[in-house]
Chains A and B, each alone.
Chain A
Amino acid sequence: MPRLRTVAAVAGAALLAKRALRRRIQASPLWPMPALAEPTSGRPRSRALRLTVASYQPVAEGVVQLRLTGRDLPRWEPGAHLDLVLPSGLVRQYSLCGDPADRTSYTVATRLVGDGRGGSREVHEQVREGVELEVRGPRNRFPLVAASSYVFVAGGIGITPILPMLRALPEGVEWRLLYCGRTRSAMPFLEEVERLDRVTVMEGRPDLDAFFANTSDGAAVYCCGPEGLMAAVAERYPRVHLERFTPGAATGGAFEVELRRSGRTLTVPADSSVLAAVREELPNTAYSCEQGFCGTCQQRVLEGEVEHRDELLTDAERAGSMLICVSRARSERLVLDM
């Protein structure tokens, strides 16, 4: 019967196909879907960590050093800083000044600033041994670049990001450090720094011209310290690497935002967010938490310098975008791709 023969042939073919398929799947279980070359899932952002203050000790006049312990902490490179979430919710940034090889603790130092924004006062008054703090990062926007020679200028507490750099410099590379401060007693880590040669310590207003007199053009210059000091160094060396924790002049105040695609420019007042200002022009702008954690309002930044206040974006994402619900401009003007 031809009919029976057809059915048998089809059944046989189906059986063979099924077997071939099974063998194929066994050989490579994830066949046949392609994969994304650079997967996005499973590589989370820097998470908030909860670390315990293991030690709290004064290291100079008005300066305390905190050692925060945890386990298996994320790695960091010299120049990196942490975001510390203080008990009141204030977020402040502190340079890591310990040993990058130590994966069980982070060390930071903070100076009590009388007229500061309250963050340092809170550290000095409320943080004690045993207190648990939320920490984000570490992030590095002050990385040590490869150069033939280095010049460091540190003012007071500004020594903190530079200290791990000095320890990490390769053997034999040429470097000099100018460490200045109000008085010797107010300069943290002075003893350790002075043990190194090639260090100039100055009290009071430093004589930058004398220090920079014979600096080669190829030297990488790093400066961290009070605003005045950084401005003075930047004047002599426009390519200087600066680490700034007190926000620039425009921050906190009003600034301008240009929305390039929609061709509009608006002013963000000091007491309002970029998001609020943008929503007046573009009501369809997506947002949700308004606290910088959900990432809904992320926008591409085309021009301008951003002061990131979110707790979500990675360094790579921060390079070209911002969360407009909380982050603000560091420059006077931002250009967004929206």
Chain B
Amino acid sequence: MSNTPEQVPLKARRVSFSWEDTPLHWVPGDPFTTHTINVLHLLLPAGERWFVHVYKQVLPYIRDERLREDVIGFIGQEAMHSQAHDEVLPHLRELGLDPTPYTAQVDWFFEKLLGDRALPPGRARRWWLMERVAVIAAIEHYTAFLGNWVLNAEELDRHGADPTMLDLLRWHGAEEVEHRSVAFDLFMHVDGGYRRRVRTWATAFTALVFLWQRGARFFMANDPTLTDGKASFRALYVRGRRGTLPATGDMLRSIPRYLSRSYHPSQEGSTEQAVTYLASSPAAQAALAAEKGVA
């Protein structure tokens, strides 16, 4: 219900998290769930910085005032997400799990492989820009999916997950749900080709699966408290059934939805739920309190 993002002006929210008290396995006793979700901290700092980088270039192509405002708000929110996840990385390092070998590769992936290439101005450059805009729309389908999932993942609360980490995930997830239509609307506005949508979905999906399983395996293998840490598809499936990770079936079912010609992100998730969470997010309130200077 109330899928009316047009009534919510998108704006970056100031947040503040303090990680001192978050344990290494912030889902107690479940390193696999912890690390599968932790992969977000590996991918998002570089990934969302890349979103911002690409979107800044696409602004001149937008011919719709409202969409432009939305994209600008989207850029600000993504910039904050990138920073917030980036701040978790030094904490992981302090806990004995140095993420740098992996994040340096993710940095390469987004800054070099998907970065601005030396292309002649004109068609080639525009093609590469539109391709990346379409890739972002596909990725945002999944960030909205995950955002909607984490907002409703009560199983994590029941398992005693660290409240600060849950708040980071839900604040981020809620903003992803809140701005879930922007990337797709932008893609439809500047290009909208169906073949491109399918092609870039395939690219984005493959890259996500590749990077995610790699990240989970990296964390499990390098976790100082695990002697023989392994990540497996089976473990993912089991957690999906239990509800501490997204269910495999739900993930598979989201694929044809994006590829459907009648797809629109407003059909997924609830803006109202997202905005309600954002109004009560401890991180947003902490930042507000810090601004006002009350302890």
Contact = CB atoms under 8 A, between A and B. Distances in A.
B293 A44 contact: no
Interface stretch (A85-93, A110-118, A169-177): A85-93
A42 interface: yes
Considering residues A39, A45, A287, A295, which has the most beta carbons from chain B within 10 angstroms of its beta carbon? Answer: A39
B79 A86 contact: no
B56 A286 contact: yes
- Chain B interface mostly: helix
Contact of B52 (A133, A284, A296): A296
Interface string B73-109: 1011101100100110110010000011111111111
Given A48-B16, A288-B73, A294-B12, A132 B295 contact: yes
Contact of B75 (A41, A85, A296): A296
Interface string B209-251: 0000010011001000000000000000000000000000000
Contact of A36 (B45, B90, B112): B112
A256 to B, nearest CB: 25
Given A33-B108, A40-B46, A291 B14 contact: yes
Contact of A39 (B107, B292, B294): B107
Interface in B112-158: 112
Nearest to B10: A288
Contacts of B93: 42
A238 interface: no
A146 interface: no
B233 to A, nearest CB: 15
A34 interface: yes
Contacts of B99: 41-42
A196 interface: no
A42 B86 contact: yes
Interface in A275-327: 284, 286-289, 291, 293-296, 312
B160 to A, nearest CB: 26
A29 B104 CA distance: 14
A33 B102 CA distance: 9
Interface residues of B, number: 50
A133 B109 CA distance: 40
A42 B72 contact: no
A42 B80 CA distance: 14
Considering residues B72, B76, B112, B295, which has the most beta carbons from chain A within 10 angstroms of its beta carbon? Answer: B76
B291 A296 contact: no
Interface residues of A, number: 36
Nearest to A49: B18
B218 A39 contact: no
Contacts of A287: 72, 76
A73 interface: no
A332 interface: no
Contacts of A184: none
Contacts of A88: 293
B281 to A, nearest CB: 16
A41 B83 contact: no
A286 B89 contact: no
Contacts of A249: none
A36 B75 contact: no
Interface string A257-268: 000000000000
Contacts of B52: 286, 296
B62 to A, nearest CB: 8
B75 to A, nearest CB: 5
B72 A289 contact: no
B137 to A, nearest CB: 18
Contacts of A133: 293
Contacts of B190: none
A133 B290 CA distance: 8
Contacts of B76: 287-289, 294, 296
A208 interface: no
Nearest to B62: A284
Interface string B46-71: 10010010011001100000001000
8 contacts: A30-B102, A35-B107, A39-B103, A85-B290, A286-B59, A289-B80, A294-B80, A296-B76
The 9 A-B pairs of least Cβ separation, nearest first, read A288-B76, A87-B293, A42-B89, A35-B104, A39-B104, A132-B295, A36-B107, A41-B103, A41-B45
Interface of A: 29-30, 33-36, 39-45, 47-48, 50, 85-89, 131-134, 284, 286-289, 291, 293-296, 312
